[in-house]
Amino acid sequence: MANTLPTHPFFNVQHSPIGAFASFTLGQKGPNGGLGIQQGKPADEPVYIGLESRDDANRFDALPFYDGRTSDEAERYVSENNLSPKMDDHMLGGIPGVETYLFDDEQISRNLTAARDTWTAGDLTFRIITPVFAVPDAEAESPDHDALRLATCPAVLVELEVDNTACDRARRFFFGFSGSDPYSALRQIEPEDNEGIRGLVQGQIKGLFAEGQGIHGGRAFGIEPIIRPWRGEGNDRFGLGPVGLLFGDAPAGKKTTFRFAVCFYSPGVVTTGQDAVYFYTRYFDGLESVGRYALEHFDDYLAKADAADAMLDDAAHLNDAQRFQIAHTIHSYYGSTEFLDLGTAPPLTHDGRTPCWVVNEGEYRMMNTFDLTVDMLFYELRMNPWTSRNVLDRFIDRYSYTDQLHFPGGSNDHPGGVSFTHDQGVTNHFTAAGYSSYEVTGLRGCFSYMTCEQLVNFICCVAAYDHATGDHAWTAKHAGLLGDCLDSLLNRDHPDAAQRNGVMGLDSSRTGNGSEITTYDSLDASLGQARNNVYLAVKSWAGCVLLAKLFERFGQSDKAALAGEQAERTAATIVSQADTDGLIPAVIVEGSVAHIIPAIEGLVFPFVAGAREAVASDGPYAELIAALGKHLDAVLRPGVCLFEDGGWKLSNTSINSWLSKIYLCQFVAREVLGHHDAQASQAADEAHAGWLLRPENTYWAWSDQMHAGVAKGSKYYPRGVTSALWLDEAGNA
């Protein structure tokens, strides 16, 4: 591997329990990380991690995750400094002679893996370990509750190592934060008998725990009054000031590791529209039980982390830029996951509750946005396919609708069919049945309906789930619905079967007299417009190919034939649109001058959903595959769909390029179309990794929509786990 990535250590990464919609975010310098819960951004809390200096017991050095000063808030209590006696210094954070400095940048190194994020500075190592492993099926007849408890415990773990081998005195370390929750107080949890775990938490919702081990907690206006004893006894009860710390002493002459759990807990009903509690409330009654469990199962989590890290390490075909991006995207994915239990309340019982898997949409916090579901599917099918099924069930049961259709400028008097909403709600509010939070009538751009795209997404998700799990019984249960989906898709082409060309030609009545868009909602017509869009056309083709196979299995040969014919029509239309250079316009039929990489995106579905013959260069759709391969060759050139740095530009008419979709198309290019150019591939990977590390972007952890490398939308985003597809590549390094 030619390079070592990342190029600098100061970028935020989300460290998140599975399904807690929570993140211990760390990496951006300053108070730009911290313990966030149900938020679409970092908590913006100072985080304090430091160690007594080897040379000077009065000097402490800390990682740069706060602004280096901690005492301003004391001024709200003192005042009139020139007239009244100054407040005792140590209340303000200034123990005479004791100083805390920030480590210099060059002292700090970092290593990010799928499940670990390790900071080293001087004799201090601070390692965050996150749970990256399968969530057992909570809807199974006899769920594995022990495994579910381990998977859903709302905590991430920390190892704080002090290498004190070269020092002959014990040295004090600390780990703490200032809580940004507007409603509750920082407080210590310290057992009366000095046994058991101790904590430094805010309200009921978040905080740090450690085993006994001589760890203590404190709160004050600054770091120093907590870590250095002051006059008098019993001052660890002080309840004011923004700084909260756990601290302890590393013994002289050896290397010692101290264990912490960073815990989250949201009690009671957390949603509106429909009541739900977090699934983890089945197993934990509050922060303290979370902290105790996480610390007791520390070794279990380490073993799981080893396995997750091995997943990347063992994939020898990946370059460092790829490994970095896979790890980063997995971290951000879990930050948006929210595993709920639907049911009425109060009182809260678990009887009759229904597990409900939600992935929030990063900064936007829309819930189970379908056009993200379809992209994150590949990762979920690898890890825990039942969560994909759970989300699909909810689209089936509550978030579908039936429409009519219109031609451009026409009225909505053509039969439509079933489709699915863009999302299921926003910021913990479930929208009414049949409606998303996003879609609005009367538009032609952003916030319009995505009726056809979500229909196609549903079909592809069902087929991929069916193939990955072999859960044919579930699919068979929805055979009728899949028939309706085919009808709906055909109707969107043309009401007269004889006039169909395999491509969407009518818009939903849900748009009023407007027109539908695609998931590329903030792009120009090259990708934003749904009608006649080649991206959606190829995805529709994939849907028909997969439907045909499913109908065959259901014994519905008429429907299978219908689907197959439609797939052929679509393929023929697309192939016919290629110009002499092999370029296929983004909006076919309408004569667009734009050319887009995602023309190839839809090929992923036959490949992963058991229809590889359909994407084979010598298969039934060989012409389509050849045409798309030629198109890809034609666009993957500087000045067309490559940025100057070698990064991929999804459309030649836009600087807005989406990393999640780039990752997906990279997989299709290499693995489906056999488009191998190791040098260009690595250059692109390094360019994309470089975008994420640009100082404008690092606050937002992983972001999707990049304008010439600058994150402009879809920040703090879960969708990047399309990168996990790379793990399955044969490798061509």
The residues in 194-223 that bind its own copies, with binding defined as CB under 8 A, are 203-204
Q: Looking up tokens 């792009």, which residue turns up? A: 523
**How many residues sit in the footprint of its own copies (CB under 8 A)?**
83
Q: Which of residues 89-108 bind its own copies (CB under 8 A)?
A: 91
Q: Determine, following the binding rule CB under 8 A, whether residue 141 of this chain makes contact with its own copies.
A: no
Q: What is the largest CA-CA distance in the chain?
A: 92
Among 428, 519, 540, 703, binds its own copies (CB under 8 A): 428
Among 113, 152, 360, 653, binds its own copies (CB under 8 A): 653
Among 185, 307, 310, 497, binds its own copies (CB under 8 A): 185
How far apart, in whole angstroms, are the C-alpha atoms of residue 511 and residue 296? 54
Q: Determine, following the binding rule CB under 8 A, whether residue 240 of this chain makes contact with its own copies.
A: yes
Q: Which of residues 522-551 bind its own copies (CB under 8 A)?
A: 522-525, 528
Q: Determine, following the binding rule CB under 8 A, whether residue 654 of this chain makes contact with its own copies.
A: yes
Tokens read off for 721: 């786990």
Note whether 355 and 36 are within 8 A (CB). Answer: no
Show the binding pattern over residues 337-356: x = contacts its own copies (CB under 8 A), - = does not.
Answer: ---------xxx--------
Is 154 or 629 the residue whose CB approaches its own copies more closely? 154
Is 88 or 105 the residue whose CB approaches its own copies more closely? 88
Among 2, 4, 55, 85, binds its own copies (CB under 8 A): 85
Among 7, 111, 272, 411, binds its own copies (CB under 8 A): 272
Q: Determine, following the binding rule CB under 8 A, whether residue 70 of this chain makes contact with its own copies.
A: no
Q: Determine, following the binding rule CB under 8 A, whether residue 591 of this chain makes contact with its own copies.
A: no
Q: Which of residues 161-180 bind its own copies (CB under 8 A)?
A: 180
Q: Determine, following the binding rule CB under 8 A, whether residue 470 of this chain makes contact with its own copies.
A: no
Among 235, 289, 354, 404, binds its own copies (CB under 8 A): 235
Tokens read off for 634: 């034609």
Binding region for its own copies (CB under 8 A) out of 117-125, 225-233, 371-379, 688-696 = 225-233
DSSP character for 86? Answer: P
How far apart, in whole angstroms, are the C-alpha atoms of residue 672 and residue 276? 41
Binding region for its own copies (CB under 8 A) out of 9-17, 427-435, 457-465, 625-633 = 427-435
Cβ neighbours of 345 (radius 10 Å): 13
How far apart, in whole angstroms, are the C-alpha atoms of residue 289 and residue 282? 12
Q: Determine, following the binding rule CB under 8 A, whether residue 183 of this chain makes contact with its own copies.
A: yes
Is 524 or 623 the residue whose CB approaches its own copies more closely? 524
Strand partners, 657: 706
Binding region for its own copies (CB under 8 A) out of 37-45, 132-140, 408-416, 638-646 = 37-45
Is 42 or 505 the residue whose CB approaches its own copies more closely? 42
Report the candidate in 707, 701, 611, 629 with the shortest Cα–Cα distance to residue 670.
629
How far apart, in whole angstroms, are the C-alpha atoms of residue 279 and residue 261? 19
In order of 28, 363, 480, the CA distances from 13 in angstroms are 8, 14, 44
Task: Tell me how far the alpha carbon of residue 654 is from its chain's centroid.
Answer: 25
Is 231 or 639 the residue whose CB approaches its own copies more closely? 231
Note whether 249 and 170 are within 8 A (CB). Answer: yes
Cβ neighbours of 590 (radius 10 Å): 13
Smallest distance from its own copies to CB 684, Å: 21
Phi, psi angles (nearest 5°) of residue 425: 150, -170
Note whether 377 and 333 are within 8 A (CB). Answer: no
Among 445, 495, 619, 620, binds its own copies (CB under 8 A): 445
Smallest distance from its own copies to CB 183, Å: 4
Amino acid at 47: V
Among 161, 211, 521, 601, binds its own copies (CB under 8 A): 521
Q: Looking up tokens 């190829």, which residue turns up? A: 538
Is 202 or 457 the residue whose CB approaches its own copies more closely? 202
How far apart, in whole angstroms, are the C-alpha atoms of residue 688 and residue 709? 8
Among 122, 143, 267, 415, binds its own copies (CB under 8 A): 267
Cβ neighbours of 484 (radius 10 Å): 17
Beta strands 22-26 and 34-37 are antiparallel
Smallest distance from its own copies to CB 342, Å: 16
Q: What is the Cβ-side half-sphere exposure of residue 439, based on CA atoms within 13 angstroms?
A: 32
Phi, psi angles (nearest 5°) of residue 413: -110, 15
Is 347 or 409 the residue whose CB approaches its own copies more closely? 347
Binding region for its own copies (CB under 8 A) out of 246-254, 507-515, 610-618, 719-727 = 507-515
How far apart, in whole angstroms, are the C-alpha atoms of residue 221 and residue 227? 12
Which sign, positive or negative, has the C-alpha torsion 553, 559, 564, 567? negative
Q: Determine, following the binding rule CB under 8 A, whether residue 424 of this chain makes contact with its own copies.
A: no
Strand partners, 276: 342
Binding region for its own copies (CB under 8 A) out of 12-20, 184-192, 295-303, 490-498 = 184-192
Q: Determine, following the binding rule CB under 8 A, whether residue 23 of this chain makes contact with its own copies.
A: no
